[in-house]
Amino acid sequence: MTRLAVCAPLRLEARAVRRGLDGDGVVLRTGFGARRSRAQAEKLRGGDAGLVAITGTCGSLAPGLEPGDLIVATEVSGPGISFRCPSAPLVAGELRRAGLRVHEGQIATVTGLFDAGERARAAARGAVAVDMESSYLLAGAVGRPAIVVRAVSDTPQRSLLRPATVTGGIAALRSLRLAGPVLARWAAAAGSRQVLLAGPRSFCAGVERAIEIVERALDGAAADATAPDGAAPVYVRKQIVHNTHVVSGLEQRGAIFVDELSQVPDGATVVFSAHGVSPAVRSEAGRRSLQTVDATCPLVAKVHAEARRFASDGYLVALIGHAGHEEVDGTLGEAPGAVALVQTVEDVALLRPADPGKVAYVMQTTLAADEAGVIVDALLERFPAARGPGSDDICYATTNRQLAVRAIAAESDIVLVAGSANSSNSRRLVETAQRAGTSAYLIDDTGDIELDWLTGASTVGITAGASAPPAMVSQIVAALAGLGPVDVSERVLATESIRFGLPKEVRQA
């Protein structure tokens, strides 16, 4: 482990952190205020510490913060200077998993903790807390990984100047002690590493189209609004794509996500998600005069059409997919009674077609190709005359991303896959990397990365599911760079240029 220096201004703060570290790293009592902190920064510049963690107590500025809460600084501002702390999300996530109350944000270094005017100016600049040392100490850590973790000891409502609230200081010291093991894990994970980016990764054409459809529907509703209280609402049935960040961003723009059409008022505008819907859902929308906009991915619509065609020709249609996925639910609804879900090789033995010579199969578009291939082999072994789709049902984007992640997995110690837990294609990327013999993890954001995963990992592969925003990959790389120098390279196996047209309902928006 690279030598860790932990800076704490006061004796009680240093003692609390030292107890938590349990011998990992050296704890320096740096002294209170600007003069002592500047002197310690000079020692840090000439010292042998490879990493610097700054701890201690702080005063909160933001509402909702309580004594004992931890603030992990994403940025530290001081007189005429500012420092970024890129590994903050990694430490914050680890502290949350340890059961602590954690907030991320800017900490401002001020000359007086109880100067109301100075606190107000810091809050106006976006700071959530203030201290009197961090920016001076960080100046001595330039060029090395550094993190700032402060514990709230007082709030505007509970100042330490009031004797009745001295318990705030006790709560802060307890949190600093509990944060010690996380600082040790942060230090163990630090170091230089290579980062391999899979290409292609992130958004596919179907996802980009679905998001643009919702955005245009919102723009059109705003432009056409006649109600005095603003734009008419735009509803979206289910998540437009399976990613929490995408959904949250569209909610902030005004989209209202619902699980069922019963939650949509009669006559309102509703967007069907990229995963498609069954004919029963479309019929219900028609009966209730809903203004529908269909964001179904054209490749999912192709599977629906295949299922209908096979069923109309008298075939039993084996749908290879995962129960409960919205795409599967929509396909099953295309021909109730004629489509049977097949999730495993064992399910093939349970099929009971009226005519063994009339069996067909279709697939969920986001499956792992090798896993689906095993089931197809089992189908063909039992039903040699079984018919499949005219072209692959597993979409080009899913296949490309699986091939790309397999390539980086071969060179990586671990693989990180950006994507939400309910994203089928993202989960398949994790499984693909694991089948290649590499540890792989699904993360919704950088806070999900566990520091122990990174300890000893000199090469980290990164990809993103087809529904994950490209910005997520940039954020992961930035967080890793906060642990030490990173050498980023890309392994591109395919270049995607496909783009799908928009439905007429939003084309002019």
Residue positions annotated with a catalytic role: 327
**Pairwise CA distance, residues 196 & 467, whole Å:** 20
For every residue of 128-179, DSSP letters joined together read EEEESSHHHHHTTSTTS-EEEEEEEEE-SSS-TTSGGGTHHHHHHHHHHHHH
Which tokens is 375 given? 């089931």
Residues 6+ apart with CB under 8 A from 188: 1, 24, 451, 452, 455
Per DSSP, 354 falls in state: S
User: Helix or strand or coil: residue 458?
Assistant: coil
Shortest CA distance to 58 belongs to which of 135, 137, 172, 142?
Answer: 172
Place of tokens 């933001």: 62
Yes or no: say if 216 and 502 are a contact pair by the CB < 8 Å rule.
Answer: yes
**Pairwise CA distance, residues 398 & 204, whole Å:** 9
**Pairwise CA distance, residues 338 & 320, whole Å:** 14
Shortest CA distance to 484 belongs to which of 261, 186, 229, 209?
Answer: 186
**Pairwise CA distance, residues 213 & 452, whole Å:** 41
